[in-house]
Amino acid sequence: MPEIVLADSFVESKCVLKSRDHRPISVADMYRVIAERLKADFSPTIRLLELLPVFLHGSRHAEVRRAMAINLSAARGQQEHAAQQVVDRLPELLAPGRSVELVEEFVRPLWDALASANGTRFAIDPGLSKKAARLFDDKSRLRERLEINEGLRRFIESEPDTADQRLIALGQNVLGATPLIGTMARSLHAMFSANLGKSLKDVCFPKRFPSSAVPATDRVPVDGSMNNAVLAHDVTRCVLNSPKFSSGENDEMLYGLGEHACLGRPIANAAWAMVTDKLASLDCTIRSSALTLVTDAPQTAEDLLAMNVLFIKPSSLRVEIGP
């Protein structure tokens, strides 16, 4: 088994992320190993994973990234409109006297609106997007992975001529869900915690997310075969968000660095601006008596090294609104 080495200083992490001598781990290769071990056909899953730029390297990465950028550009207007409709519900949601669970009542609906509006060029089933995200979760059972694999097979076979293009669009939603939901929830909690009892219209909200749901990302050496890299090469776990970093350093790492920087940055920044603009217009407060955030965030370096899925998943953000 490979050893995981933690690059937990800003300078070291940045150096590895920008290095041409390192690349992401191929999750498709991991499923090839599972398929060989279990004698199961995971080819639809592998086909999807081979179209997600976050796991790719070299010319194929550049090709898929260009295709994904075209999709995102085409959907941008519809996504902003859909997001604004959800954000406009905040005054009613955060009315004084209410106790609100913001992950389920606001943050997830905001993501669902963005994901649904992403289907500008190709219709994407939201249910399949949510299920396919479970392919990266180490808690997913084999039976669940096989069921998702069969759903992807039907998706591919429904329109074979456009399968790759539709898989790329599907992949955008698969990759974006947990990071945006988690980052939005953690950032709202950070701002509310720092301004308890203060009118929201008097809060100075930052222009970018102050917290992230992607604490780290993995890199392996470029040399060697892809399959060998899964099983043999040591892994460098590059920290992206840390209390050890300055606010400027965390901001610089927010969307990753180099050729693998997140393509969803423009729409994510736009969504945060919509949310903070609306919050800054509200004459209400967040009471300290009921502000709780429940996540699976790592608490120590050992916890971070033990993570198999490098996304922090929020299960609850509860707030109580005061006058």
Q: Where are the alpha helices (DSSP H) in 25-57?
A: 27-38, 43-49
What residue ranges of the chain have pLDDT lower than 50? 224-231
The predicted pLDDT at position 1 comes to 58
CB atoms inside a 10 Å sphere around CB 109: 15
Locus of tokens 């709780």:
292
The string of pLDDT tens digits covering residues 151-204 is 999 999 999 999 999 999 999 999 999 999 999 999 999 999 999 999 999 999
CB atoms inside a 10 Å sphere around CB 158: 10
Q: Which CATH superfamily is domain 4-322 in?
A: Cytochrome P450 (1.10.630.10)
User: CA 122, CA 282: separation in Å to the nearest integer?
Assistant: 38
Judge contact between 284 and 95, C-beta under 8 A: yes
Alpha-carbon Rg for the chain in angstroms? 20
Sheet of strand 22-23: strand arrangement: 4-7, 235-239, 216-221, 22-23
The predicted pLDDT at position 290 comes to 81
The predicted pLDDT at position 227 comes to 46
User: CA 253, CA 183: separation in Å to the nearest integer?
Assistant: 13
The predicted pLDDT at position 228 comes to 44
CB atoms inside a 10 Å sphere around CB 152: 24
The predicted pLDDT at position 252 comes to 96
Judge contact between 83 and 107, C-beta under 8 A: no
The predicted pLDDT at position 126 comes to 79
Judge contact between 30 and 230, C-beta under 8 A: yes
The predicted pLDDT at position 230 comes to 47
This model's pTM is above 0.85: yes
